[in-house]
Chain A
Amino acid sequence: MSSGADPVLAVDDLRKRYDDTVALDGVDLAVADGEFVAVVGPSGCGKSTLLRVLSGLEAEFGGRVAVDGTDVCDGGSDAVGMVFQEPRLLDWADVRENIAVGLPADVDPDAPAARERVDDLIETVGLGGFADSHPDELSGGMAQRVSLARGLAYNPSVLLLDEPFSALDRLTKADQQDHLLDVWEARGTTVVLVTHDVEEAVYLADRVVVLGGQPGTVESVVDVDIDRPRERADTELVALRREVTAVLGR
């Protein structure tokens, strides 16, 4: 499952600094087509920064980052969608309109098919009945799910997710994780998921990348070679969870 011959995401010696802070220093990462990679690491180690570079939001960085062979600086990031760590909703727009922002540019958001797609997404993230609500009427976890739905609406070939389930309760979280797996399997999307939840990382991912240090580098990569569908309480999963936690604790 690990990096094949033609990685969709190729990160080569990535270095990124903000003024005096060096956020990432020499990160190498290759993600194969259709692979699900989880990134874990302590707060401030540069996880969000890595996703920002991958999605083309950072203009200046060292090293080479390519998506499908095209450098992110030359439009390679067009194929990439991202769910931000914060919900970042338009507070004057209702839930439906916010999710429609994610619809691809060639889709007319007012077309019946597009509306249906948005309504489906509202159902899948468990917000049925809130289509006409505004962000200030939503809880933190609900807003986070709107943001997740917006990312899913984009239907990119590479989906970056920055702690998308962090504000959800256990049950909703499990539901949304399984739904993400459904989307990933059905569409063959390449997924990079940042999380603080080691259990989530090993349950979802083909590989867990542990970032660490100040400035951040790849400390370790743990392969999760466990057949799907997986059981959350699977003893092998629990063992891998210990392993990742141990690396994190170092």
Chain B
Amino acid sequence: MAADTRRESDVSRESDSGRGSTAGGSAGNAESHSLGPVPLPAASRFRPLLGLLVPAAVVVVWHLIVATGTIPAYQLPTPLRVAETLYGMGASGELWGHVAITVQRVVLGAGLGIAVGTVFGTATGLSRTASDLLDPLLQSLKNIPSLAWVPLFLLWFGIGESAKVLLIAVGSFFPVYLNLSTGIAAVDEELLEVAEVYDLGRVESLRRVVFPAALPDLLVGIRGGVGLAWMFVVAAELIAASQGIGFLLSDGRTLARPDIIVGSILLFAFLGNCSDVAVKEVRDRVVGR
């Protein structure tokens, strides 16, 4: 039920924006003429580029602020300086080690968190008893901020890779768990009755009705989980790492190199965006027809 309404509202939102761009086009009653809408695809093709306008303006203003000395360069480097630093580190090969280890941690941690979240979400979604037992605990654990876990994980698992991967796994576990658990529990009762009347049996009704119905929720959870994995990798690397983009961040502070700090932040933004777009793409493939 919940999934249905959400999908419907998504659709209506899309068609709303479609209508919006029509209205942005030439004539009001152009709809009746077959030639009316023709110029529109060209206009809407450039629409995504609008999103670049504000960031470009920000970069220009940023440059001006630093160039005019409003903010001193030792606190904020110029955009060009940041680009040079990143390029230099890339060319010398130093950057790739940091990027690779951070990506590896995120992939392992998010993978683990998503896997465990799927298991727990399925269990609590299907079984009332499992939900009564586990859900109150997990609901309260989810509010613990990422940084609060760090000392405990260092104590338990040392400063090695496992502490970081596990910390990230904790972060990506919760969105997956919460979304899947509610998604499964909210599967349309009417469809479950169909499965019952046609004697699908427990396994088949899970495979053919419950899981497909909850799949959109799982994917929403995975998207959130991957997002949180990037939050948690920073927490892990800032405090206990000798490599990684988070380490670069803190190293930049120690070395008083704002260009490295800003460069690292931009790297996080870029990589986080890439993973988000990738997950969203998968979701749209699977769910959106």
Contact = CB atoms under 8 A, between A and B. Distances in A.
Interface of A: 55-57, 78, 80-82, 84, 86, 88, 90-93, 101-102, 104-105, 134, 136, 150, 154
**Interface residues of chain B: helix, strand, loop or mixed (majority):** helix
A134 B289 contact: yes
Contact of A101 (B200, B213, B215): B200
Contacts, number: 47
A66 B204 CA distance: 27
Contacts of B289: 134, 136
B197 A90 contact: no
B209 interface: yes
B194 A101 contact: yes
**Interface residues of chain A: helix, strand, loop or mixed (majority):** loop
A105 B194 contact: no
B212 A82 contact: no
Given A57-B196, A134-B289, 9 more contacts: A55-B197, A56-B196, A81-B197, A88-B190, A90-B212, A92-B215, A101-B200, A101-B208, A150-B198
B191 interface: yes
B197 A92 contact: no
A203 B57 CA distance: 75
Contact of A91 (B4, B193, B196, B204): B4
B69 interface: no
Contacts of A105: 199-201, 204
B194 A84 contact: yes
B208 to A, nearest CB: 7
A34 B217 CA distance: 45
A86 B191 CA distance: 11
A88 B194 contact: yes
A125 B250 CA distance: 68
17 contacts: A56-B197, A88-B193, A88-B194, A90-B208, A90-B209, A90-B212, A91-B4, A92-B212, A92-B287, A93-B208, A101-B194, A101-B198, A101-B200, A102-B198, A105-B200, A136-B289, A150-B198
